[in-house]
Amino acid sequence: MEETEESNANRKCTPKGRSFRGRTNPHDQQLLQYSNPFRFSNQNQYQSCPALLPLPPPIPLQLTATPPLPQNQGCRSKTHLQKPSWKLNKPPRATSSDTQVSVLTVLPGPPIQTAVEDTQRQASFPLRGENGRKVMGATQALVAARRPDSGGVEGPAISLLANHFLVQFDFLQRIFHYDVDISPNPSKEVARMIKRKLVEENSVELSGAHPAFDGRKNLYSPVEFQNDRLELFISLPIPTSKSLPPSGVLQAKHQQFKLFRINIKLVSKFDGKDLNSYLCKEGDDWIPLPQDYLHALDIVLRESPTEKCVPVGRSLYSSSMGGTKDIGGGAVGLRGFFQSLRPTQQGLALNVDFSVTAFHESIGVIPYLQKRVEFLRDLSQRKTRGLTVEERKEVEKALKNIRVFVRHRETVQRYRVHSLTEEITENLWFEDRDGKILRLVNYFKDHYGYDIQFRNLPCLQISRSKPCYLPMELCMICEGQKFLGKLSDDQTARILRMGCQRPRERKAIIDGVMRGAVGPTSGSQEREFKLHVSREMTRLNGRVLQPPKLKLGEGGLVRDLIPSRHDRQWNLLESHVFEGTRIERWGLISFGGTPDQKSNIPRFIIQLSQRCEQLGIFLSKNTVMSPQFEPIQLLNNVSLLESKLKKIHAAASNNLQLLICIMERKHKGYADLKRIAETSIGVVSQCCLYQNLGKLSSQFLANLALKINAKVGGCTVALYNSLPSQIPRLLRQDEPVIFMGADVTHPHPLDDFSPSIAAVVGSMNWPAANKYVSRMRSQTHRQEIIQDLSAMVGEILDDFYQQVSQLPKRIIFFRDGVSETQFYKVLQEELQAIRSACCRFPSYKPPITFAVVQKRHHTRLFRNESNRPQSSSSSSAGNQVLEENIPPGTVVDTVITHPREFDFYLCSHWGVKGTSRPTHYHILWDENQFTSDEVQKLVYSLCYTFVRCTKPVSLVPPAYYAHLAAYRGRLYLVERSEFTPFTTTTTCQLSRAAPPKTTPLPKLSESVKKLMFYC
């Protein structure tokens, strides 16, 4: 239990007794809750999950209310009542009537958690039907899996701190929600200026309140205003659009005040009783998280930081947190913090984390372009320089949507760059209000005494609908604009270095935010809304799981081991990989490189072959044809590249096993090379850079050998104690289980056209479960739900049957890339898709576990050594411990996890740089009925089986492989998806084109389809 200054415990919050899966629910116990004169709600014993706020209510999934079916007839038609025929090593398929699955059917077997469709709390509760399901009418809704116990118990305890700060709230404090309508519609920045002035000038009408504003439409007040409807007027010194001449020029002396009308209307009143009951685990499981009060408090705690910082998503950035750092290319790095209010087992907690992101540098547009665009580096020395058609496109892409202000006059007006003019500045004319045609360069000379210097450059077009021009040299980039372009490798490295703090330093920054002048506790809102936010991190106990024993190849001196180093890494100095392959037909092609670099190729071939031999992998010392040396420019010519690769393939009688490609530097042609090799030719490839061939260290050669071995069908390691022996209650040696992973990658934020790529992988061997096949599909732009999941899962089940000779008895599905606001939509649609895939096979209804895997969260865990007595001799050792990351195997499933649902944090890797980020696993559906210990042990053991390295990885391998496969699918479309994102009309009006029809991925060659070519 967290001990803080605010702690005074007496109030008890007794959850309603309930049973789950035939077990006693772990939360059927009393939770101590702090009480005080404000009736603060503060469950301080256990805690919750990592979620961005607000969490959505469960989305109803229509289930047919069918009577129980006879055993083995859930998805069968009458034609399958006869004995099926099993031919060609393929599992039998259900008929078309079986595959037309429009709804999930409530099937006999493992109990499925369901709930009433109505997502609102109702006075009358539903009746309970068979198996304890809640029934109302003919529809039921999915509810995420509940925690099956009070948490795991395996592994020694470790004292930790989490960057969650307890928030006590008076659950009787009413909040008044008002809708705000501002006319004319302002930007969020101007809207906040209006709100500030509104509060200053209308204290009586607002009953003296200092309400919280979200910058859009919602205002939250702790007291009720004088009237339910208010109409107020505020004027600000902002030029009106009517005063703007065609050139975008406005004389300062003619600046006008802009009048805004603000209509405020009471929408609702609510208190925190429902939220308090939810956190206390009172009431039924199916009742969703009360969003209104939670969302209001989240806005309240963001009010003060938003006034003082630059908000970007859920993070806030300020130069007061360490200034800005130039990262090159017209961008600067800025430090800030992330904050989000979340429900946890200890009550409400504010998750606060350190954050870094890139912003556009606030400089003139001309010097900005000199930094941003390579071909304009010398622009200041070549003022008469113009732009080619291609250069103009690149400049427009660099400046589009950036906000600028002018420096030839005083104004608070800001403009957004819409495009560039077709004509250069020298040739631009416009019509003034009197209908007189003026030349732009003369206008600026006559009105401002300014002689335009860069006359051969286009002007900025700042209006979507009419000509409105600004010369580039008179414009400045506004501060506080997030850099949305793709960062270069150098920029990315500099940003990562800015955000790479060791644990003690990161903890100090977060503590400073909570006590600082720009943090969530820096304003008066905490007092106004009767909140108390702890300034201390949450103390909790985690556990450290023990590493599994590993099995290596039979040919080595060391054939099994337990990773005993602190980082859980092991080496293969005297060992062989678990399954080595024979590579007799392979080729090598070089792109670019100096004569000295090329001379290292023979030595590289010999040493790589020797290192492979030491690892139990056979790589012939002779390539099928002499190494091919090509200029790097060949990678720019797709057709010529394909013919060269086919030539090497033909030298191996069209049976090439491996192609090693050595490049002078990273090149965009890498994508074409992979696509051609894996779809057109049918060979796996391994690329590396010449710069890594200089020293040819044993570690580099070993890493290369492991990747090559995995790609051609081998594997690095296996678990000595198989999964059935580790989890005997559920898993059996003769009942195979398939582990699946799924991910969807989306195009860059500025790309409005390229399709998203979905990938699904599945394990193909049991009980080793260390070889995976993949399926990839392109789908609708930015569509998160995997559209073709049913077909992809069905194909993988086909492959599994061919390998194992039976269908898997259980499906364990790890879904990556899902935010918490999408949990229930993904569960609703993708669980049904998996079921639909299973129904393609007669009488096949395996229990499914569906887990979401999250790496993009902001929960951090730190070692807590504050309770240890520190003598002068041990203080330095204590500081050293605080500098270290938490050990691999650290698991947390109490205090900061979800108050009701089944989730946990697992840090399975050793953090070499910065502060370790644990992976968050959220079990949304569990028909296999795992206990906390079982699923945590399963995931941690799998993390040791990743084929590319000899250490546990941070992400469970099925999800990791799905991520790699989705990235590979995106490479296949790099060349094809370069659409022109905008169409230009003759009136300088730009319109967004509709996204093109999704481009399908090229089909994989049959010879690589079942290999781990993507790893």
CA dist 65 to 114, 121, 335, 924, Å? 12, 22, 54, 22
The CA angle 515-324-473, to the nearest 5 degrees, is: 140
What's the pLDDT score for residue 241? 42
Mean pLDDT computed over 108-124: 36
**Least trusted range by pLDDT, from 413-417, 623-627, 724-728, 949-953:** 413-417
- Cβ pair 470, 459 in contact under 8 A: yes
DSSP assignment string, 629-692: EE-GGGGG-HHHHHHHHHHHHHHTTT---EEEEEESS--THHHHHHHIIIIII--EEEEEEGGG
652 has a pLDDT exceeding 70: yes
Q: Helix H segments across 373-429?
A: 389-399
What's the pLDDT score for residue 48? 37
3-state secondary structure at position 252: helix
Q: Model confidence at 246, in pLDDT bands (50, 70, 90)?
A: very low
72 has a pLDDT exceeding 90: no
**Which residues on adjacent β-strands are paired with residue 778?**
757
The CA angle 764-765-770, to the nearest 5 degrees, is: 85
Mean pLDDT computed over 827-842: 96
**Which residues on adjacent β-strands are paired with residue 541?**
159
Q: Give the HSE-up count for residue 285: Cα atoms under 13 Å, Cβ half-sphere.
A: 26
What's the pLDDT score for residue 285? 74
Mean pLDDT computed over 64-78: 39
What's the pLDDT score for residue 877? 52
What's the pLDDT score for residue 414? 87
Q: What is the pLDDT of residues 327-368, one digit of tens each?
A: 999 999 999 999 999 999 999 999 999 999 999 999 999 999
What's the pLDDT score for residue 627? 96
Q: What is the pLDDT of residues 856-888, one digit of tens each?
A: 999 999 999 775 555 444 455 545 555 689 999
Please list, in sequence order, all residues whose beta carbon lies within 8 angstroms of the beta carbon of residue 643, skipping any fewer than 6 positions away.
none
Q: What is the pLDDT of residues 454-476, one digit of tens each?
A: 999 999 999 888 889 999 999 99
Mean pLDDT computed over 132-151: 67
How confident is the prediction for the chain on average, in pLDDT? 84
What's the pLDDT score for residue 233? 96
Please list, in sequence order, all residues whose beta carbon lies within 8 angstroms of the beta carbon of residue 691, skipping any fewer than 6 positions away.
none
**Closest to 722 in 3D by CA, of 764, 765, 762:** 765
Considering only the C-alpha atoms of the chain, give the largest distance between any 2 of them, rounded to a whole number of Å.
Answer: 94
E strand or H helix at 234, and its extent? strand 229-236
976 has a pLDDT exceeding 60: no
- Cβ pair 635, 591 in contact under 8 A: yes
- Cβ pair 483, 359 in contact under 8 A: yes
- Cβ pair 359, 480 in contact under 8 A: yes
Q: What is the pLDDT of residues 258-312, one digit of tens each?
A: 899 999 999 999 999 999 999 998 877 778 889 999 999 999 999 999 999 999 9
Please list, in sequence order, all residues whose beta carbon lies within 8 angstroms of the beta carbon of residue 695, skipping any fewer than 6 positions away.
none
Residue 229 tokens read as 């409807």
* Chain Cα centroid distance, residue 633: 35
**Closest to 843 in 3D by CA, of 38, 28, 82, 43:** 82
Q: What is the pLDDT of residues 749-778, one digit of tens each?
A: 888 889 999 999 999 999 999 999 999 999
- Cβ pair 553, 559 in contact under 8 A: yes
Percent of the chain with pLDDT over 90: 72
Please list, in sequence order, all residues whose beta carbon lies within 8 angstroms of the beta carbon of residue 843, skipping any fewer than 6 positions away.
72, 73, 74, 75, 76, 80
- Cβ pair 114, 131 in contact under 8 A: no
Using a 10 angstrom Cβ sphere, with 0-12 exposed, 13-18 middle and 19 or more buried, the burial of residue 657 is: buried
435 has a pLDDT exceeding 90: no
What's the pLDDT score for residue 412? 74
What's the pLDDT score for residue 413? 81
Q: What is the pLDDT of residues 93-106, one digit of tens each?
A: 665 444 444 344 33
618 has a pLDDT exceeding 90: yes
What's the pLDDT score for residue 89? 57
Query: Please, what's the b/e burial string for 556-571 (b: 16 or more CB within 10 A of its CB; e: otherwise)?
Result: beebebebeeeebebe
What's the pLDDT score for residue 974? 73
Q: Model confidence at 1005, in pLDDT bands (50, 70, 90)?
A: very high
Higher pLDDT, 245 or 508: 508
What's the pLDDT score for residue 239? 54
What pTM was estimated for this model as a whole? 0.85
Higher pLDDT, 981 or 679: 679
39 has a pLDDT exceeding 50: no
941 has a pLDDT exceeding 60: yes
939 has a pLDDT exceeding 70: yes
Task: Report the distance separating Cα 160 and Cα 222, nearest Å.
Answer: 36
128 has a pLDDT exceeding 80: no
What's the pLDDT score for residue 341? 97
What's the pLDDT score for residue 888? 98
Highest mean pLDDT among 57-66, 127-136, 459-468, 721-730: 721-730
84 has a pLDDT exceeding 60: no
Which DSSP state fits 1011? S
Please list, in sequence order, all residues whose beta carbon lies within 8 angstroms of the beta carbon of residue 913, skipping any fewer than 6 positions away.
500
**Least trusted range by pLDDT, from 279-283, 595-599, 613-617, 707-711:** 279-283
Q: What is the pLDDT of residues 815-834, one digit of tens each?
A: 998 999 999 999 999 999 99
Mean pLDDT computed over 171-195: 94
60 has a pLDDT exceeding 70: no
Q: Model confidence at 514, in pLDDT bands (50, 70, 90)?
A: very high
What's the pLDDT score for residue 975? 54
What's the pLDDT score for residue 126? 38
